[in-house]
Amino acid sequence: MAKYRRLRANRVALITGAGLRLGRAMALDLANQAFDLVLHANRSAKAVETLAKELRAQGRAVKVLKADLSNARQAEKLAREAWAAFGGVDLLVNNAGIFGPTPLEKLNAAALDEYYAVNLRAPYILAAELGRRMRAGKGGSIVNLACVSAAKPWKDYVPYSISKAGVAALTVGLAKLLAPKVRVNAIAPGTVLPPEDMPARQREALRARLPLQRLGRPEDIVRALRYLVAADFVTGQVLYVDGGRSVV
């Protein structure tokens, strides 16, 4: 395995799907915590370049890498290139993912393969490739984005829910395998940023069912990530940040 000389003193984070929404919010907060960043994007190359420019203006070192994570080879290449960018990675945030319903008539092999490839296989490859290097080096931390549906799969979202249940299992398995030098945890968001085309009525129905009576905000996820990055006695945990949805 290639060894790289650390190029800067700062901690380095790779965050996948960093151009928009939760990925962007977490990247901004990691930059505020003085992480240098490897920002990954697939289709949102423009958005991620804009974000990189903003962060460089704040004094952060930023590398942008493109990969289609439905392709295993590209996921492996992303891990190699991310490690090489600054001579190491201290934090991997497996954020990129796809989301959507699968009606019963489309519950076929292709539907499962699609969610499996992006939501589970890619985080698995990145965590294995980078976790191995972290463990052989000075250690590190991995945070996966799961979902509240990992614990209670949704009937209209079976392939998606299965992929996120896999992310929860990946988190626990790797936490044991990579300990003690590498911690592995997950955040399981409830509804934070619903799809932009979700009708207001559906949004309100979701909100009304929650013990905490509000949908999540990106800051809720950002705070959870901050906690897991700092919590050096915590590994193998799936932290539900869901307004209480997982307990009702």
Ligand X SMILES: NC(=O)c1ccc[n+]([C@@H]2O[C@H](COP(=O)([O-])OP(=O)(O)OC[C@H]3O[C@@H](n4cnc5c(N)ncnc54)[C@H](OP(=O)(O)O)[C@@H]3O)[C@@H](O)[C@H]2O)c1
- Angle, in degrees to the nearest 10, between helices 122-136 and 158-178: 10
Examine the residue annotation and report whether 227 is marked as an active-site residue of this protein.
Answer: no
Q: In what order do the strands lie in the sheet with 91-94?
A: 62-66, 36-41, 12-15, 91-94, 140-145, 182-189, 238-241
How near is the Cβ of 38 to ligand X at its closest, in Å?
14
Interactions with ligand X, residue window 40-59 (CB under 6 A): 41-44
- Binding map of ligand X across residues 132-171, x = CB under 6 A, - = no contact: -------------x-x------------------------
Amino acid making up residue 29 = D
Number of residues that bind ligand X (CB under 6 A): 25
Among 85, 192, 225, 229, binds ligand X (CB under 6 A): 192
Residue 185 found at the interface with ligand X (CB under 6 A): no
- C-beta of 10: minimal distance to ligand X in Å? 24
Catalytic residue among 124, 160, 227, 240: 160
Buried/exposed code over 166-190 (b: 16+ C-beta within 10 A; e: otherwise): bbbebbbebbeebeeebbbbbbbbb
Tell me whether residue 21 or residue 135 sits nearer to ligand X (CB atom). 21
The CB density around residue 155, as the number of other CB atoms within 10 Å, is 8
Q: Which of residues 2-31 bind ligand X (CB under 6 A)?
A: 17, 19-23
Query: What distance in Å separates the CA atoms of residue 203 and residue 28, rounded to the nearest whole number?
Result: 27
Q: Which residues are catalytic?
A: 160
* Residues found near ligand X in the complex (CB under 6 A): 17, 19-23, 41-44, 68-70, 95-99, 118, 145, 147, 189, 191-193
